[in-house]
Structure 1
Amino acid sequence: MNSLEARHRQAQRVVSFTYVGIPVIFLGLVLWITATVDGGAVKWAAALVPLAVLAAGWWRRGKSRYMPVRWPRAGSLVGGVTALFSAFEADVLSAGSLALWALPITIVGTIVGSGFGRYGFRVLMMPAIAELADSEYELSFRMRGLTRLRLSVDAERVTLHEQMVLQTVDGQSTVREKSYPLTAVTGVHAVTLSGSERLKYPVAMKLAPASSPGPALILQAQGEDWVLPQNEAPAIAEILERRIATARTH
């Protein structure tokens, strides 16, 4: 699936199912459980939680439909809530023993929901193609190796960040990241690493990737160089060059 339009259509179907479709299934499941247990009478009061999840999903879809890095987390949250409350509702209404199964059911729901979000991400982003630069998506590329380091590119900025929330001494949460306007980027190059290079980053990374043989992206901005091990570096370089050119014409 190399056509950007085909990727977009497929990814948006997955996103809609993740944010809206799963809550609709949640609503239908809860109404079915109440009707089954109560001799065919639907208890609409039981639908309040599913309706709230549906409303939140609809709202969040509008906010996140072009941010693929958020889809797996949203899927895990919606899937987990759906599984947990469905099990709880069935247990309460039937006076059964599903309480023992609530945690495993929730874990399964979380995994399934996250799986849909990850599938949508892969459909859109893998493999990277230069045409992604012409889309509205905030693009995100993970670095090679045991790291949580990602390169994010939107219409205005490029950001290197570690997907890890840290607690500072004063109890505040922060994220390790460094970003520049696209117009401040002075060079983008795809290179090949031998594996012996010492890599440096603009901010201290807790799980920064070590140098490893293979493709890498060099990004130069405001006198700083990022050397980023990434297997799809040539395509990412093209994406950046296109977005930089677009940013400079606006």
Structure 2
Amino acid sequence: MESRHRRVQRIVAATYLGIPLGLLAVVALIASTGSAAAWIGCVVPVAMLVVGFVLRRRHRYTPRWWLAVAGLFGGLAGLTVTLFPLAVGVWWPAILALPALILGIVGGLMLARAADRALLVPFDPELASTPYELVFRLRGVPLAAVLVGADTVTLQSHPVPRSEQQVRRYPLSAITLTHEFDLSGAERLRFPIAVTHAVATEGPAVILQANGDDWVLPTNQATTLIDVLAQRRTP
């Protein structure tokens, strides 16, 4: 488990610190070809580095934030690399600003997904005894996820819930049933929280009962979710 933790944290560090450091190196190289005023451009990657340093300490065990930060940093890096050359009189990279923005976001998201996979796949029962808040994506429900903390399980339809209707949280002690089964894709799923653009899909799912609520959670990591809940519910 220790080696997995180190691998995950290396990827998180590459996201929160590596992207700003790489961008700082590129900006400094470009600035060195221009006037002294061009060095002001280093403010952007330096600010990202400071923010990344602070957030990494806060988010190191909360994977739900990795995706957002990785996408933001990747997108900013892509834009800066293509637009900053304007400061030294080089115009043509600006044409690539939109593709660079998209590529940066995708690259950042891939880093975050890699950290998620390194943490969860294959599932290790010892994960339940770590401080990680484990995130399980819901298939067919964009942005929705199940968050399993040390003492609670949270279901939310948005990474940053904007209303009480988008999130529901239960203490692990309130869970009365977890059961894995397969969806055919023809079922009409009911969600006690507000979701948008839910699409019925075929594949594994988890029935979760807590405080009288019944949930059908379509997730490709159904077995892992049940195992984590079982481990963290055990005194």
- Whether TM exceeds 0.5 here: the answer is yes
Structure 2 SS opposite 1:47: helix
Aligned-pair identity in percent equals 39
The residue type equivalent to 1:64 in the other structure is H
**Deviation digits for residues 116-164 of structure 1 (CA, Å, limit 9, x no counterpart):** 1222122212344433212211111122335443211111211111127
- Cα deviation for residue 59 of structure 1 reads 0.8
Structure 2 SS opposite 1:37: coil
What is the TM-score normalised by the length of structure 2? 0.85
Contact preservation (8 Å) 2:141, 2:196: no
* Equivalent-residue separation in structure 1 for 2:73 and 2:38 (angstroms): 22
* Equivalent-residue separation in structure 1 for 2:228 and 2:84 (angstroms): 48
Would you say 1:29 and 2:23 are equivalent positions? no
CA separation of 1:77 and 1:194: change in aligned 2, threshold 3 A: closer
Structure 2 SS opposite 1:99: helix
- Cα deviation for residue 16 of structure 1 reads 0.2
Alignment partner for residue 17 of structure 1, among 14, 25, 30? 14
- Cα deviation for residue 235 of structure 1 reads 2.6
Q: Judge which range, 42-51 or 97-106, deviates more.
A: 42-51
The structure whose Rg is larger is 1
Contact preservation (8 Å) 2:139, 2:201: no
* Equivalent-residue separation in structure 2 for 1:198 and 1:55 (angstroms): 46
* Equivalent-residue separation in structure 1 for 2:116 and 2:201 (angstroms): 26
Runs of 5+ consecutive residues of structure 2 not aligned to the other structure: none
The residue type equivalent to 1:178 in the other structure is R
* Equivalent-residue separation in structure 1 for 2:172 and 2:224 (angstroms): 17
Alignment partner for residue 133 of structure 2, among 135, 138, 144? 138
- Cα deviation for residue 5 of structure 1 reads 2.7
Runs of 5+ consecutive residues of structure 1 not aligned to the other structure: 167-172
CA separation of 1:179 and 1:137: change in aligned 2, threshold 3 A: same
CA separation of 1:46 and 1:195: change in aligned 2, threshold 3 A: closer
* Equivalent-residue separation in structure 2 for 1:235 and 1:118 (angstroms): 17
* Equivalent-residue separation in structure 2 for 1:196 and 1:98 (angstroms): 48
The answer for the alignment partner of 2:227 in structure 1 is 238
Q: Judge which range, 56-65 or 118-127, deviates more.
A: 118-127
- Cα deviation for residue 194 of structure 1 reads 5.8
- Cα deviation for residue 34 of structure 1 reads 1.3
The residue type equivalent to 1:15 in the other structure is V
Alignment partner for residue 190 of structure 1, among 180, 190, 193? 180
What is the TM-score normalised by the length of structure 1? 0.81
Q: RMSD over aligned Cα, in angstroms? A: 2.6
Contact preservation (8 Å) 1:131, 1:239: no
The residue type equivalent to 2:76 in the other structure is V
Contact preservation (8 Å) 1:162, 1:176: yes
Contact preservation (8 Å) 1:199, 1:211: no
Number of equivalent positions: 234
Contact preservation (8 Å) 1:130, 1:235: no
The answer for the alignment partner of 2:100 in structure 1 is 105
* Equivalent-residue separation in structure 2 for 1:228 and 1:74 (angstroms): 26
- Equivalent residues in 2 for 1:24-63, closer than 5 Å: 24-38=21-35, 44-63=39-58
Structure 2 SS opposite 1:36: coil
- Cα deviation for residue 19 of structure 1 reads 0.4
Alignment partner for residue 8 of structure 1, among 2, 5, 9? 5
Contact preservation (8 Å) 2:12, 2:60: yes
Q: Judge which range, 24-33 or 155-164, deviates more.
A: 155-164
* Equivalent-residue separation in structure 2 for 1:85 and 1:204 (angstroms): 37
- Cα deviation for residue 55 of structure 1 reads 0.2
**Deviation digits for residues 160-201 of structure 1 (CA, Å, limit 9, x no counterpart):** 1112778xxxxxx43612111112222223344566655433
CA separation of 1:195 and 1:51: change in aligned 2, threshold 3 A: closer
